[in-house]
Amino acid sequence: MTKWLLAAGVLMPLYSAQATQDPEAVYNRVCGACHSGQLPMAPERGDQEAWTPRLAKGMGTLVQHVTQGFKAMPPRGLCMDCSAEDYQAIILWMSE
């Protein structure tokens, strides 16, 4: 029972909280350095072909990849003041 309560406490903020930062501003400040074409493996904003298989993994997985780092993605995507909600909003904005 304790494990379930802990899991619920960890996951609830992902579903109930809102992003506190403007996704475009964060992209311009941090994400664009890699996601605007400089790194061929970093999906560019609006590139549906690159984003579709990533989105199929689920938002939780994508936020985890950003938070923990994944392949060439550095931990937290170098945005030290971003929350999980901010990452989710940025991912959605970039994948439009």
CATH code for the domain in which residue 65 is found:
1.10.760.10
39 in Cβ contact with 90 (< 8 Å)? no
Is the predicted pLDDT of residue 37 greater than 50, yes or no?
A: yes
- Looking at the chain, the whole-number percentage of residues with pLDDT higher than 70 is 82
40 in any annotated domain: yes
Domain membership of residue 8 (yes or no) is no
Q: List the one residue out of 13, 4, 9 whose CA is nearest residue 87.
A: 13
**Residue 74 domain boundaries:** 21-93
pLDDT (mean) for 29-36: 95
Its pTM stands at 0.78
The radius of gyration of the chain's CA atoms, rounded to the nearest angstrom, is 14
- d(Cα 93, Cα 96) in Å, to the nearest integer? 6
- Is residue 25 scored above 50 in pLDDT? yes
Across the chain, what does the average pLDDT equal?
Answer: 87
pLDDT of residue 7: 46
Task: Provide mean pLDDT across the span 24-41.
Answer: 94
Give the whole-angstrom CA distance, residue 89 versus residue 22.
Answer: 8
